[in-house]
């Protein structure tokens, strides 16, 4: 049974109250602005300390991985431009249980990112405002108040709609692009020691002092993967762009390539500018000490501290200013995206209807308030920016995996639906994208994976509560089509437990450590193949997909009527 594409566009598309006000530049800049957040301010230091000069390889591999993940969504984002698409595509492919699983993970990760970015702002500011954070990176009472207020400002700006959001973001992204190019050029001109890339450093020398394993571990652990997560805005806001056919693929691919090149050049500049004498005597693990300018300054503000050491106080001043602008802009974007995710879950009917309510500006304002509350919870005493980033990265990357499979199942489920953009070699792109997803989580280490799965389990508790309380509205779970998700989650847990990546600071996470680097890659290839086969087997029949896509407006009107009557 083929899908009535005209009916899908008119009825099962996004909420008609959402405004189509993201143009080409607006959507692209939203993704770039989301990518260039706090990651570029910290990741060069953390990647160098974990991988040495091989951090360059870390960024290259990370860029390629996210290109494949992004490509797997390009066709979906144009074929079905939906706000909160990462949560809604699984709903169409496997039903409510699958969509809730990925929606919960995605929402949780997005809610945390805004808090991470605010944390980054305060971490940089602590270099000269010592009353904001404790020595271990947790917030002091005054810092907590400021953090909560900053999140409130993000909510307020988003409340007035996409047009105001896009105008502010476009200006901030131009600043961020100019700043990162300026930093790369200034550092390279001021100091560049080519010998640093093969130096005989204490504790391990050469290009890869910790081997390829260390370089790959740095992808999640150093904030490299975190620095790329913003590409998703091309999907999450696809329902609010005026030309999805053009804007979505351009945003997905363009944002990753542009930012990937900039990140690689920044890493080259950072390594080349380090003092070779200090590296030889202290090694890459202590690289932060080489750029300290005061008490712990190298840990709080690495690029600004490096600029100061190189005698460029003017650049340090700009970087301290940018430490408010870059993470602040990304936090602003993720506040919007978090609201769209809970909005999508409300539209999928596996979350309360109030989350899908929008104001006259086309903004899901109850979801914005929930995003603010969730973000504030993440300000609880986490030990550091880097520790929080690792958990957020694993959650977010997990949410991406369904798109690589849905790309292929939709080819069978929706063969007649128009595809204005068609992904080339989809049967190559999809599996590689899922493998990249599994590897990034694996390299994050057992200590992060088990915590991530605890968060997933909490989500299922909420699902049970919602199903029990709202039986009349909650959709059928389609569990017989979504059970493969549980197998995938269990597989991730098992492969990580048997692997050699702990992710724990003391490297004693209680895992089995059965196989090494190559064995871990093989285990993830097997996991990828098994999950692809199960997900393909479990896909909803075309009739059921057609039913979901062609839900009538009466359902939406019913929810709005309940909200208006106070039920």
Q: Residue 130, Cα to own-chain centre: how many angstroms?
A: 30
Task: List pLDDT tens digits, range 267-283.
Answer: 999 999 998 998 888 88
Kindly indicate the confidence band of residue 61, based on its pLDDT and cuts at 50, 70 and 90.
very high
Residue 270 makes CB contacts below 8 A (sequence gap 6+) with 44, 45, 48, 187, 303, 306
Dig out the tokens for 64 from the structure.
Answer: 């390629």
Q: What average pLDDT does this structure show over 6-24?
A: 48
What is residue 538's predicted lDDT score, i.e. its pLDDT?
Answer: 96
Q: Residue 419 — pLDDT band, cuts 50, 70, 90? A: confident
Assess contact for 169 and 33: CB atoms under 8 A: yes
Eight-class DSSP state of 471 = T
Specify the range with the lowest mean pLDDT, choosing from 190-199, 348-357, 548-557. 548-557
- Range picked from 27-31, 328-332, 378-382 for highest mean pLDDT: 27-31
What would the two tokens of residue 488 be?
């995938």
Contact (CB, 8 A) for 426 and 554: no
Q: Other C-beta atoms within 10 Å of 338: how many?
A: 31
DSSP class of residue 288? G
Look up tokens 């847990």; give the residue.
493
Q: Which residue has the higher pLDDT, 557 or 108?
A: 108
Contact 356, 62 (CB under 8 A): no
Highest mean pLDDT among 98-112, 116-130, 420-434: 420-434
Contacts of 360 (CB under 8 A, 6+ apart): none
Q: Which CATH class is domain 5-437?
A: mainly alpha
The pLDDT assigned to 237 comes to 65
Q: What is the mean pLDDT of residues 184-189?
A: 96
Local structure of 133: helix, strand or coil:
strand
How far is CA 115 from its chain centroid?
A: 13
Three-state SS string across 418-433, please?
Answer: CCCCCCCCHHHHHHHH
Identify the pLDDT of residue 394: 81
What gap in Å lies between CA 12 and CA 69, rounded to an integer? Answer: 26
29/308 Cα distance (integer angstroms): 30
Do 365 and 159 form a contact (C-beta atoms < 8 A)? yes
More confident residue, 391 or 229: 229
- Residue 479 pLDDT greater than 80, yes or no: yes
Task: Name the residue among 345, 354, 339, 366 with its Cα closest to residue 559.
Answer: 354
pLDDT tens, 300-320? Answer: 578 888 998 899 999 988 988
pTM: 0.82
Structure tokens at 278: 């200090």
Q: Where are the domains of the chain?
A: 5-437
Q: Establish how many alpha carbons lie within 13 A of residue 245's alpha carbon, considering only the half-sphere containing its beta carbon.
A: 4
> In this predicted model, what pLDDT tens digit does every residue of 510-539 receive, in sequence order?
577 888 888 999 999 999 999 999 999 999
Q: Which residue has the tokens 């949410």?
A: 399
Give me the pLDDT at residue 300, please.
Answer: 57
Q: Give me the mean pLDDT over the 550-558 stretch.
A: 53
Count of all residues that appear for the chain in the document = 567
Mean pLDDT of the residues in the chain: 81
Which residue intervals of 539-552 are DSSP H helices?
A: 542-549
| Helix, strand or coil, per DSSP, at residue 139 | strand
For residue 1, what pLDDT is reported? 36
Is the model more confident about 378 or about 40?
40
Q: What pLDDT, on the 0 to 100 scale, is given for residue 56?
A: 96
Does 198 have pLDDT greater than 80?
A: yes
Q: What are phi and psi of 138, to 5 degrees?
A: -80, 155
pLDDT at 561: 52
Question: What token pair was written down for 216?
Answer: 């790959």
Which residue has better confidence, 553 or 513?
A: 513
Residue 467 pLDDT > 80: no
Burial pattern 471-487, b for ≥16 Cβ within 10 A else e, equals: eeebbebbeebbebbee
Model confidence pLDDT, tens digit, residues 221-243:
888 888 888 787 777 666 666 67
Cα–Cα distance between 567 and 565 in angstroms, integer?
A: 6
139: β partners: 133
Contact status, residue 397 vs residue 113, Cβ threshold 8 Å: no
Q: pLDDT at position 194, please?
A: 92
Q: Quick one: pLDDT at residue 10?
A: 35
* Helices (H), ranges, 472-567: 479-482, 484-498, 517-538, 542-549, 553-565
In which region does residue 140 sit, left (phi positive, over 0), alpha (psi from -120 to 50) or beta (all else)? beta
The predicted structure's pLDDT at residue 505: 47
- In whole angstroms, what is the distance from residue 35 CA to residue 176 CA? 10
Q: What band does 478 get if pLDDT is binned at 50, 70 and 90?
A: confident
- Percent of the chain exceeding pLDDT 70 equals 83
pLDDT for 127 beyond 80: no
Q: Is 547 helix (H, G, I), strand (E, B) or coil?
A: helix
Checking if the pLDDT of 401 tops 50, the result is yes
Q: Of the ranges 110-114, 148-152, 160-164, which one carries the lowest mean pLDDT score?
A: 160-164
Per-residue model confidence (pLDDT) at position 181:
94
**Average pLDDT of the residues in 456-469:** 84
311 exposed, middle or buried (CB, 10 Å; 0-12, 13-18, 19+)?
A: exposed
User: Does residue 411 or residue 205 have the better pLDDT?
Assistant: 411
**Tokens 């496997």 map to which residue?**
94
Distance of CA 96 to the CA centre of its chain: 23
């Amino acid at each position: 049974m083929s899908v009535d594409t005209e009916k899908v566009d008119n009825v099962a598309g996004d909420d008609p109250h959402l405004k189509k006000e993201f143009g080409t530049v607006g959507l692209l800049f939203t993704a770039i602005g989301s990518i260039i957040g706090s990651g570029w301010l910290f990741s060069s230091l953390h990647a160098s300390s974990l991988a040495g000069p091989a951090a360059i390889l870390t960024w290259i591999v990370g860029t390629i991985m996210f290109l494949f993940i992004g490509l797997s969504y390009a066709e979906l984002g144009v074929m079905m431009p939906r706000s909160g698409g990462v949560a809604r595509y699984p709903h169409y492919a496997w039903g409510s249980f699958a969509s809730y699983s990925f929606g919960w993970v995605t929402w949780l990760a997005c809610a945390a990112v805004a808090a991470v970015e605010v944390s980054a702002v305060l971490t940089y500011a602590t270099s000269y405002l010592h009353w904001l954070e404790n020595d271990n990176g947790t917030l002091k009472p005054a810092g907590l108040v400021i953090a909560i207020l900053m999140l409130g400002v993000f909510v307020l700006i988003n409340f007035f709609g996409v047009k105001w959001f896009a105008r502010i973001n476009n200006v901030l992204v131009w600043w961020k692009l100019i700043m990162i190019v300026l930093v790369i050029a200034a550092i390279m001109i001021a100091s560049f020691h080519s010998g640093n890339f093969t130096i005989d450093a204490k504790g391990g020398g050469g290009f890869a002092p910790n081997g390829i394993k260390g370089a790959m571990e740095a992808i999640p652990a150093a904030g490299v993967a975190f620095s790329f997560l913003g590409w998703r805005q091309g999907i999450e806001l696809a329902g609010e762009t005026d030309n999805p056919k053009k804007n979505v693929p351009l945003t997905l691919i363009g944002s990753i390539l542009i930012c990937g090149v900039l990140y690689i050049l920044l890493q080259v500049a950072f390594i080349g500018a380090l003092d070779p004498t200090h590296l030889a005597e202290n090694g890459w693990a202590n690289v932060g000490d080489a750029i300290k300018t005061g008490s712990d300054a190298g840990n709080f503000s690495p690029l600004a501290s490096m600029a100061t050491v190189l005698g460029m106080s003017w650049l340090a001043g700009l970087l301290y200013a940018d430490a408010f602008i870059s993470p602040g802009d990304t936090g602003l974007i993720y506040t919007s995206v978090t609201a769209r995710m809970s909005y999508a879950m409300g539209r999928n009917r596996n979350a309360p209807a109030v989350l899908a309510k929008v104001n006259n500006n086309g903004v899901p304002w109850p979801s914005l308030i929930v995003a603010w509350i969730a973000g504030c919870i993440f300000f609880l005493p986490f030990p550091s920016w880097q520790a929080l980033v690792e958990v957020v990265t694993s959650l977010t990357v997990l949410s991406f995996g369904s798109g690589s499979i849905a790309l292929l199942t939709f080819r069978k489920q929706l063969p007649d639906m128009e595809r204005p953009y068609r992904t080339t070699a989809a049967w190559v792109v999809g599996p590689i994208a899922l493998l990249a997803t599994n590897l990034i989580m694996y390299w994050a280490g057992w200590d992060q994976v088990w915590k991530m799965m605890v968060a997933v389990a909490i989500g299922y508790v909420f699902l049970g509560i919602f199903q029990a309380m709202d039986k009349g509205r909650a959709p059928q779970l389609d569990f017989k089509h979504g059970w493969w998700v549980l197998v995938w989650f269990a597989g991730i847990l098992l492969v990580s437990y048997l692997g050699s990546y702990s992710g724990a600071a003391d490297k004693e996470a209680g895992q089995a450590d059965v196989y090494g680097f190559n064995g871990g890659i093989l285990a993830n290839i097997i996991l990828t193949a098994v999950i692809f086969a199960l997900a393909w087997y479990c896909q909803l029949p075309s009739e059921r997909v057609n039913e979901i896509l062609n839900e009538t407006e009466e359902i939406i009107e019913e929810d709005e009527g309940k909200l208006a009557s106070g039920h």
